[in-house]
């Protein structure tokens, strides 16, 4: 039986442009049927990161984040193409007079609409995450959302954990 574990994860990184060390609190979701691989996947996410978060000083994105962001865009593009193909197939079946395809047609339409919304929002992910980066020692200067995530992470996993 596969299990899913969700937790907040501190991802430390250094800006490739200005050299600023910063971190962000990302949300990690690990799905695996083998619990022994949990810590391996957790360590990989800690090193690679979970989100596209620009540097809080110069607002540039590291190459690894850039590659992950582009990969996410291609994944959404493929999902949109598959859902559009399914929608076309169902529409062709409607022409054949298959009445039971209404549910499938609505499901394909919904999937297509969701992937289209994701594709429209995808270019703005770095802008939406611009305030998520926190410079160590200057946590008080972080945006409110980043502070809340940091306090939640810190109370469970960080120095404030009991």
Is the pLDDT confidence value at 99 over 60?
no
- Where does the pLDDT of residue 162 fall: very low under 50, low under 70, confident under 90, or very high at 90 and above? very low
Number of domains in the chain: 2
The chain-wide mean pLDDT, for the chain, equals 82
Distance CA 148, CA 131 (A): 12
161 assigned to some structural domain: no
Is the pLDDT confidence value at 45 over 70?
yes
Distance CA 65, CA 71 (A): 10
Higher pLDDT, 75 or 46: 75
* Parent domain of 49: 3-59+130-156
Q: What is the pLDDT of residue 26?
A: 86
162 assigned to some structural domain: no
103 assigned to some structural domain: yes
Q: Rg (Cα) of the chain, in Å, rounded? A: 20
């Amino acid at each position: 039986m596969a299990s899913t574990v969700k937790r907040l994860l501190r991802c430390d990184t250094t800006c490739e442009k200005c050299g600023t060390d910063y971190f962000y609190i990302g949300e990690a979701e690990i799905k695996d049927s083998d619990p022994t691989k949990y810590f391996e996947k957790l360590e990989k996410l800690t090193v690679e990161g979970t989100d596209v978060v620009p540097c809080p000083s110069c607002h540039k994105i590291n190459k690894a984040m850039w590659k992950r962001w582009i990969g996410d865009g291609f994944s959404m593009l493929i999902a949109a193409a598959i859902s559009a193909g399914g929608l076309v197939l169902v529409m062709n079946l409607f022409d054949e007079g298959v009445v039971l395809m209404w549910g499938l047609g609505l499901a394909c339409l919904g999937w297509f609409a969701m992937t289209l919304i994701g594709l429209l929002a995808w270019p703005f992910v770095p802008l939406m995450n611009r305030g998520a980066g926190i410079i160590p020692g200057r946590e008080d200067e972080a945006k409110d959302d980043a502070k809340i995530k940091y306090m939640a992470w810190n109370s469970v996993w960080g120095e404030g954990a009991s």
